């Protein structure tokens, strides 16, 4: 599915969060959104996903091409896992399928498929309290994949995890994007995540968020590895791009606190 974020602006009462955001997302493209704290990254993701109506502009679906068996074109993966504690892993995944016209065998097949994709097949009957943070996030990913989305929307999915788990899941995300050719929008504060996963990185300025630069990364995702000189160069370029504004935004937050 091809998307066009067309001149999107948004305000919360008197606070202008975004101004004239305009870029496209091509089928099979992973786009990372970065920028200083408070620049409107999550607001923009909510607008792209239809959770929030912009005060100006629009998000256009320029074609209706969707994966076979797609039940929900735009699907979220959240930072906080959002698992129901009284449901098993399989039950949490089943939740997103139950309002669709699928037979029990079709639901079971989809659940088994995404459990295998996320290395959770042995934990289908486990409850969230029995899982580590990384495994809980894998359940969140599996739940999103179960509807076979056209575009996966990911709002800082690794930020609540410890460093070791973050590295492991970053490797898994990279493999998933390289293997499936999935379209995704990925919000992150972490530039290493952005350069490992994204085909292009949209860097936003401080509030009101406007596009400072769209940075292309031409290394195939399947060839990217931690510590790769080309990726380090891209990460340094992105940091140089947002450094001053990121420092200013952090000082502003400290002053407010």
Cβ of 200: how many Cβ atoms within 10 Å? 18
β-pairing, 200-204 with 211-216?
antiparallel
| CA separation for the pair 69, 190 (Å, rounded) | 33
The H or E element containing residue 53 is none
Nearest to 163 by CA among 190, 195, 124, 181: 190
pTM, to two decimals: 0.92
**pLDDT tens digit sequence for 179-221:** 888 999 999 999 999 999 999 999 999 989 999 999 999 999 9
Better-predicted residue by pLDDT, 2 or 66: 2
Give the gyration radius of the chain's Cα atoms.
18
Q: Decide: 47 and 58 in contact? Cβ < 8 Å.
A: no
Q: Where are the alpha helices (DSSP H) in 181-228?
A: 191-197
Count of C-beta atoms within a 10 Å radius of residue 126: 15
Alpha carbon distance 8, 40 (integer Å): 11
Task: List residues bridging with 77 in a β-sheet.
Answer: 154
108 burial via Cβ count (<10 Å: 0-12, 13-18, 19+): middle
β-strand 30-34 against 200-204: which pairing, if any? parallel
Q: Which CATH class is domain 3-65+152-256?
A: alpha beta
pLDDT tens digits, 47-104 = 999 999 999 999 998 877 788 888 999 999 988 878 999 999 999 999 999 999 999 9
**pLDDT tens by residue, 230-256:** 999 999 999 999 998 888 877 765 654
Nearest Cα neighbor of 233 from 191, 172, 200 is 191
Query: What is the tens place of the pLDDT at every residue in 110-146?
Result: 999 999 999 999 999 999 999 999 999 999 999 999 9
- What pLDDT, on a 0 to 100 scale, did the predictor assign at position 149? 93
How sure is the predictor about 159, in pLDDT bands with cuts at 50, 70 and 90? confident
Residue 47 CA: distances (Å) to CA of 7, 42, 56, 122, 142: 12, 9, 11, 36, 23
Per-residue pLDDT at 257 exceeds 80: no
The label of the residue with tokens 């309290």 reads 129
Distance CA 24, CA 249 (A): 27
Start and end residues for every CATH 3.40.50.300 domain found in the chain: 3-65+152-256
The mean pLDDT value for 150-177 works out to 90
CA atoms within 13 A on the CB side of 106: 9
């Amino acid at each position: 599915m091809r998307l066009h974020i067309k001149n999107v602006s948004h305000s919360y009462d008197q606070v202008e969060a975004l101004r004239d955001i305009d870029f496209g997302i091509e089928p099979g493209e992973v786009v990372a959104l970065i920028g200083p704290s408070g620049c409107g990254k999550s607001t923009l993701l909510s607008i792209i996903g239809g959770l929030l109506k912009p005060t100006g502009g629009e998000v256009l679906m320029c074609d209706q091409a969707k994966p076979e068996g797609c039940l929900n074109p735009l699907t979220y993966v959240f930072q906080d896992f959002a698992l129901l504690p009284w449901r098993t892993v399989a039950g949490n995944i089943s939740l997103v399928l139950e309002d669709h016209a699928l037979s029990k065998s079709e639901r079971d097949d989809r659940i088994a498929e995404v459990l295998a994709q996320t290395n959770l097949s042995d934990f289908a009957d486990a409850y969230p309290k029995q899982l580590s943070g990384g495994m809980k996030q894998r359940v969140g990913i599996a739940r999103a994949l179960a509807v076979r989305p056209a575009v996966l929307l990911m709002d800082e999915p690794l930020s609540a995890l410890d460093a070791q788990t973050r590295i492991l899941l970053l490797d898994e995300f990279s493999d998933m994007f390289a293997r499936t050719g999935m379209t995704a929008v990925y919000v992150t504060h972490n530039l290493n995540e952005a350069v490992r996963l994204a085909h292009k990185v949209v860097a936003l300025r401080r509030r009101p968020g406007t596009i400072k630069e769209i940075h292309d990364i031409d290394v195939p995702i399947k060839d990217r590895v931690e510590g790769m000189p080309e990726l380090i160069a891209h990460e340094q370029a992105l940091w140089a791009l947002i450094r001053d504004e990121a420092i200013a935004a952090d000082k502003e937050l400290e002053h407010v606190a």
